[in-house]
Structure 1
Amino acid sequence: MSTDLPAGTRLVPDPSLRRLGDGRVLLGGSPLRLLRLGAAGSRLVNRWLSGEPVEPGAASELARRLLESGLVHPEPARKIWTEDDITLVVPVKDDRAGLRLALRAATDIPNRIVVDDGSTSPVPDSTVRHEHPRGPAAARNTGWRRAETELVAFVDADAEPVAGWLDPVLREFTDPAVLAVAPRITSVAEDSPLGRYESDRSSLDMGVRRALVRPMSRVSYVPSAALVVRRSALAGLGGFRESLRYGEDVDLVWRLLESGGAVRYEPGSVVRHRTRPGWRSWLRQRYQYGTSAAPLSRHHHGKLSCARMSAWSAASWALIASGRPRIGLGVAAVSAALLPRKLRARGVPDAESLRLAAFGHLGAGRLLAEALRRAWWPLLLPAALCSGKARTVLLAAFLPCLVEACRAEHGGFSWFALRVLDDLAYSAGVWVGCARERTIAPLLPQFTEGSLR
């Protein structure tokens, strides 16, 4: 595939992008990347970031490297796809009211396929029906295989696209390297503790910043509750993996990436998603999400971990948790002092290296707290019952939840309680999934040397 970007494409910087020294060192993206430029490359980047479009040829190769590093995002000059080039596929099971709302909200797509996945009573608006429920992956596969357009928009029956959602998505497909684009999925506002919590922290909402989707990054996957994919890419992979009852969307996205294409997250496009109707169904959903971790780790070895950090950070936090804070802080300080020596030759100022080290250690602490809540707490709980030190560590792991509750728009005690239940339900699913698959891979951390890519 040619590295040339479509004519007229402009580049906009990711908010994380930092240009160091004389502008020849670029730092940013997720995971963090460092790119050194020559004088000519630096001048090109200056022109692009000031609004000049990328020209075809050798310069386009540099632009592609910037995009693949997540340091910049594309702004196509025009879209080459229209609403006639896309087919809407809606899988549904026993949700006629939701289907009507979804179809009404997606009136901008004339080509439609509704797949009734074995509803108790046949859905009147369905295009094709499974006599027995086969799961969402099979329903989506049945739908896209009947499509005759190159683009396929999967929208669940409990999702409602917001007016104008399609245009930002179609513009991303101007780049032939893009195989799938996901809109932002927000929760429908509901005046209940659960509804308010979901509006602040839906597990389907990937945030307000554009992103290149990839494992172990800020946006490591995107859900298929609303997802637009090239039909040719689906055909090449055989579609969704029907053996996966949950996590089939994560699996598809990662296989698309493994095929050499790009998947982009576009929050300028918005789809609203309805919250589960009650506490039990909501907790069951979180538990079911957790059960997908083990099958995904089996299919995608090394791309899923409960925590990924430098060995230095892990060691310093382990010492602090074991009651030796001075030694732990000393290890952190030593590693921070060593980093400038590594990065100085790559053009990174010492002050920036120290900043990276500090944020790296703090970020590792947050990841370890999350791993305790979502993976390791059953191992620590017996010790916490008889050890004050273990109880302190376990309680400290939930402090970030309290901070989130204080900062959230609808925060409060009920928000905090739901936040804790969210992690515990997911954790229960992870352990059950690991038992079924006979693996502990999702429970294991990954350690890095702490160097930049």
Structure 2
Amino acid sequence: MSAGDRGADAGLPDGAVLRLNRHTHVTDGGAVLFGGVPARVSRLRPTVAEQIQGGSLTVTDAATRALAEYLIEAGLADPSPESLPPGDVAEITVVIPAYGRSRQLDRLLRSIRDDLGHVRVIVVDDACPAEASEIADVTYRNKAELVRLEENRGPGGARNAGLALVTTPFVLFTDTDAVLRPGAVALLLRHFADRRLAAVAPRVAGLTAPDPNWILRYESARSSLDHGADASLVQPHSPMAWVSTTCLLARTAALGSGFGAGLRVAEDVDLVWRLVAEGWRVRYEPQSVVEHEHRGSARAWLGRKFFYGTGAATLARRHPGLAAPAVLSPWTATVLVALAAQRRWSIPVAGTVTAATALRIARRVGRTEHPHALAARLAGYGFTWATAQGFALAVRHSWPAFALAALRSARVRRVVAVAAVADAVWEYARLRPDLDPARFAVAKRLDDLAYGAGVWYGAWRARSAAALLPVMTRRGTSATGRAATPMSRPAHLASGRGRRRSSSR
């Protein structure tokens, strides 16, 4: 099924329930919604707004189905998976790329049998020289199929080899160091009631260790694979910009030839962005949870962070503009530069620019009960998000450049010091990890140093600075950092009052 073959019978079935997501702001008694991916202001007719009760919408007819489709497409609301019809797990084939780790493979296969029963499972041995016989023994003992590659292709190539053998409507990619929790995949499968959905990923939690060290405690709170507790569409330049193929359930027909040829890092991000560019939806569903065996040694942990960073250059080449380390508007960039200058005029300039932006937003939001209060909130969120991106540039993505500049500039040293401390405090307060603040701060800094070093090494190897440069957009950023678009008022939803305005900030 191609991207153009989905429209005729698209839409969620009767009984499906949508819930406005946490980033959707409701004003005017529910008649005005702000949020989405990318951000927009949406005015609903009173009769339409009445369908959303307590932040929820139930699909009951063609009109509510159309409203549900709009809310999903706009990123304003997410389907509750338990309200969607169950699928048949027999329509799933599991594909597992394997390179050593026979013990973890055995654990994964047992969890698959416990959860999914006797579905077809294909293990692809990616030309592992050390544990070939052990992988074969584990595979056959667990009644799975084994495909052995003659040369190593990396995880993407191994998945493609397994994908070529899949004949079922759905394929589950999962890595050997994952463990399925009971019911996790069945819950993901319900989302395919949305015929525009290409793939859905669960939340990836840390596998419980009997005596976790400080690295495992940090990773349990802030793993690169764990995207948190909020369901979301997955789109570039959004808070949920990518999901991992540590575990990913996909519609086979949407995948085409699968993962990008030759990619050994960031192949999962590349796949997701290509699916979105083709008009498919990709979703993150945190109610479904799988477990992952995090790396507990400092060398392996930092090496993996560095490796992830090297993928930024590849993504910047294949998806120009989407792999930028920051997305800033002129006003947020001006505020950051003013504050970083640390002059007497810095705070007045930053405050004036932010206030002027809030006034401009109030004019462009149009008729609402409290336009200035809404505009102040949005400008405040934009300022907060821009500050977070500035911190990340200083201590994560661009730390080598800041470190060199700090050797000669006291102002840069102060910027780096403030960013390092504020970023750690911010993340600690947000995550509440099972780790003391001091060790959390050290782990966060090591995490960022390793990843940033990988980004710069990848850029040097690619002979391109594209992955190092922030993107400037005239439309600014929303409360959550997403690129803003003109206010959306579809004809079947709009009140009909007032003229169409831009919500650019």
- Normalising by structure 1, we get a TM-score of 0.94
1:241 and 2:260 matched: yes
Choose from 370, 377, 389 the match for 2:411. Answer: 389
How far is 1:186 from its partner?
Answer: 0.9
Change (3 A) 1:22 1:78: closer
> Could you list the runs of 5+ residues in structure 2 that have no partner in the other structure?
1-6, 140-144, 478-483, 486-505
Q: Secondary structure at the match of 2:193?
A: coil
Q: Secondary structure at the match of 1:269?
A: strand
1:132 and 2:139 matched: no
Q: Residues 343-368 of structure 1, C-alpha deviation per residue, up to 9 Å, x if partnerless?
A: 23477621111111112112111111
1:37 and 2:13 matched: no
1:115 and 2:140 matched: no
1:430 and 2:455 matched: yes
C-alpha contact (below 8 Å) 2:265/2:308 kept by paired residues = yes
C-alpha contact (below 8 Å) 1:366/1:400 kept by paired residues = no
Change (3 A) 1:175 1:39: same
How far is 1:27 from its partner?
Answer: 1.2
* Aligned residue in 2 for 1:307: 326
How far is 1:11 from its partner?
Answer: 1.5
154-163 or 114-123: bigger deviation: 114-123
Higher relative contact order (CA 8 A, sep 6+): 2
* Aligned residue in 2 for 1:5: 12
Distance 1:232 1:337 in 2: 48
Distance 1:39 1:405 in 2: 42
66-75 or 206-215: bigger deviation: 66-75
Letter in 1 for 2:252: R
Distance 1:342 1:13 in 2: 23
Letter in 1 for 2:49: S
* Aligned residue in 2 for 1:378: 400
Change (3 A) 1:331 1:278: same
* Aligned residue in 2 for 1:52: 58
C-alpha contact (below 8 Å) 1:289/1:429 kept by paired residues = yes
Letter in 2 for 1:87: T
Aligned length: 449
* Aligned residue in 2 for 1:359: 381
Structure 1 segments, 4+ long, off by >4 Å, are 48-51, 345-348
Change (3 A) 1:412 1:18: closer
Distance 1:374 1:78 in 2: 40
1:204 and 2:240 matched: no
Choose from 78, 90, 97 the match for 1:73. Answer: 78
Letter in 2 for 1:285: R
Choose from 87, 90, 114 the match for 1:84. Answer: 90
Distance 1:4 1:83 in 2: 22
C-alpha contact (below 8 Å) 1:79/1:170 kept by paired residues = no
Letter in 1 for 2:440: W
How far is 1:9 from its partner?
Answer: 1.8
How far is 1:49 from its partner?
Answer: 4.8
C-alpha contact (below 8 Å) 2:72/2:78 kept by paired residues = yes
How far is 1:410 from its partner?
Answer: 1.7
Q: Secondary structure at the match of 2:72?
A: helix
C-alpha contact (below 8 Å) 2:11/2:194 kept by paired residues = no
C-alpha contact (below 8 Å) 2:13/2:59 kept by paired residues = no
Choose from 286, 290, 293 the match for 1:271. Answer: 290
* Aligned residue in 2 for 1:64: 69
Distance 2:440 2:80 in 1: 38
C-alpha contact (below 8 Å) 1:189/1:196 kept by paired residues = no
C-alpha contact (below 8 Å) 1:30/1:218 kept by paired residues = no
Choose from 95, 102, 118 the match for 1:96. Answer: 102
* Aligned residue in 2 for 1:316: 335
Distance 2:445 2:99 in 1: 30
How far is 1:72 from its partner?
Answer: 1.0
How far is 1:80 from its partner?
Answer: 4.9
Distance 1:388 1:183 in 2: 45
How far is 1:30 from its partner?
Answer: 4.5
Q: Secondary structure at the match of 1:264?
A: strand
Letter in 2 for 1:204: L
How far is 1:102 from its partner?
Answer: 0.5
C-alpha contact (below 8 Å) 1:320/1:329 kept by paired residues = no
Q: Residues 425-451 of structure 1, C-alpha deviation per residue, up to 9 Å, x if partnerless?
A: 111111111122222112111223337
- Normalising by structure 2, we get a TM-score of 0.85
Change (3 A) 1:133 1:277: farther
C-alpha contact (below 8 Å) 2:59/2:68 kept by paired residues = no
Q: Secondary structure at the match of 2:458?
A: helix
Distance 1:332 1:10 in 2: 38
* Aligned residue in 1 for 2:503: none
Change (3 A) 1:20 1:423: same
How far is 1:32 from its partner?
Answer: 3.0
